[in-house]
Structure 1
Amino acid sequence: MTSAKQPRSRVRENSHARFCKRGRGSDFPLDSTSLSKTRKQINFTDKKGIGKLKLKGTWDLNFYQLEQIKRVRLVHRADGYYVQFLISADNKVESPPTGKTIGLDVGLKEFYTDSDGHSKPNPRFYRIGEKRLKFRQRRVSCKNKGSINRKKAINKLGRVHLKISRQREEHAKRLARCVIQSHDLVAYEDLRIKNLVKNHCLAKSINDVGWYQFRKWLEYFGVKFGRITVAVNPAYTSQECSNCGAVVKKSLSSRTHVCECSFVMDRDWNAAINILKLALSTVGHTGTWILDPNASGDSTSTHAGEILYGQVESTNEESPHL
């Protein structure tokens, strides 16, 4: 089975690419592009006025055959232009089984707490960079509209946003890779982020923590290393007692689970154990699944998992350092 890799080479700023809309990329057919023998230059011959561009970056395109390149995209970011190459390559990695399973409960206080009681802190990249963002936003507002200085201020503001988004993505990627390589089965919550951010008191914190990026990389690395990733219905995972199964109602401010059976545990740790139990309740399933304990039968709805499964199988956004 083959999957696609997208090595990105940065284009020097003296190129004048044309884009339909700010911040979006433009796809080019293969017959309208040609790489030089050294793979350090790319020539666009589709009469768009782009011409020959110099490439710089850490990706060595000489490692790939020209037949492996399926698509070329030119992308505009705040810090310059990038050329993305969609490459067909074998992306499976054989890894020995570990014999370990784990359940993950993501949160705002801690990035996640696993079923073994370990937790990872929430880095809060946006909160840390918020002071710098406000400074750059004030710089934009004090410039005259349409002026060159305003465009420069907007670009500097965009660079700060870009740095924060890249920090969040790399953090989620590193943690997901470590979790997948250390366990044969990883269970996590099937959260609906779009519904959660409707709570305006928590929307900024939810967007800052990056739950979706973490889940995306978990499922991607699950396919790459041949691990099982299971998304379970998060309903009542924080309320149920992992010891006796009784439902103990608690608010978001209650961080300790105290049950009538004298079982006391951290709220997130208790939820992570329940998430793992739900995942292990269906034996024999492999791949990415969405488990609903309220559904009848062992096999349940998998539509959301299938969508993400297809995404991670056809896209590789890894940096060359991984």
Structure 2
Amino acid sequence: MVYEESQPGSVGIDLNIENFLTDSNGQVVANPRHYRNSRKRLAKEQRTLSRRARRAKREHRSLKTSQNYQKQRRLVAQLHDKVRTQRQHFLHQLSTTLIKSHDLVVAEELRSKNLLKNHALAMSISDVGWRTFLGMLTYKAALYGTTFMTVNPRNTTQTCSKCTFVMGTEGTKKLTLDQRKWQCPRCQTEHIRDWNAAQNILNKGLKKIKLA
């Protein structure tokens, strides 16, 4: 994980699957994909565990007393624990750096429950640990005296952060997920999708503070 500390100030962060996050300054943190990187090994060892369970059953042996089964069960548990530990370490490092480096951190409210219904995205969403990450930002902000807030993510990817034009209005089409770069039809500003979204997230946070 590489995230450069910056001068204290405000930052918006856009959480996404392609990269773990992009901030309003343009910094990008790659998605480590801990589970995906271990999936083949985990699947192989899980199949071995299932075979040993079936064998013990055929031979009328208790799984509790089957040494081969128990040895394999411990191996599978260790692999899962390794993935969890790697993910937690990554999330702790990044959340601490973000909170200690800024006076204000703004993120989007998570609405991953509906996204998890999409089986193609479910694994990726679960693997990144967004909810855990936002929880870490929340309690670390209190520890270090930083303001952390979440904002409604509506139109953060569809709005031009320069002139506030919203794609999908005035006869334009909404941006699709595969459109990573786009040009605002009103002010002609060239945008990198996630960077622009992070800037909009920060703007919403600043507006929220101003109205409070």
TM-score for both structures, normalised by structure 1: 0.57
Q: 1:271 aligns with which of 192, 197, 202?
A: 197
Deviations 1:169-207 (A, max 9, x none): 110110000000000000001112222211111000111
Q: 1:126 maps to which residue?
A: 35
Unaligned runs of 5+ in 2: 1-6, 168-173
Indicate conservation of the 8 Å contact 1:189/1:275, yes or no.
yes
Aligned-pair identity (%) = 41
Higher helix share: 2
The reply on whether 1:178 has 2:97 as its aligned counterpart is: yes
CA distance in 1, matches of 2:34, 2:103: 30
Which contiguous aligned blocks of 4+ residues in structure 1 show a shift greater than 3 angstroms?
A: none
| Higher alpha-carbon deviation: 125-134 or 138-147 | 138-147
Letter in 1 for 2:78: R
Letter in 1 for 2:38: G
TM-score for both structures, normalised by structure 2: 0.85
> How far is the alpha carbon of 1:256 from its aligned partner?
1.0
> How far is the alpha carbon of 1:209 from its aligned partner?
1.0
CA distance in 2, matches of 1:283, 1:161: 41
Q: 2:81 aligns with which of 142, 162, 169?
A: 162
Matches within 5 A, 1:167-246: 167-246=86-165
Q: 2:71 aligns with which of 148, 152, 158?
A: 152
Indicate conservation of the 8 Å contact 1:257/1:270, yes or no.
no
Cα RMSD over matched residues?
1.3
CA distance in 1, matches of 2:97, 2:74: 35
CA distance in 2, matches of 1:212, 1:242: 26
Q: 1:256 aligns with which of 163, 169, 181?
A: 181
Q: 2:171 maps to which residue?
A: none
Indicate conservation of the 8 Å contact 1:103/1:186, yes or no.
yes
Unaligned runs of 5+ in 1: 1-97, 285-297, 300-322
Matches within 5 A, 1:7-26: none
Determine which structure has greater relative contact order: mean sequence separation of CA pairs < 8 Å that are 6+ residues apart, divided by chain length: 2
Specify the SS of the correspondent of 2:188.
coil
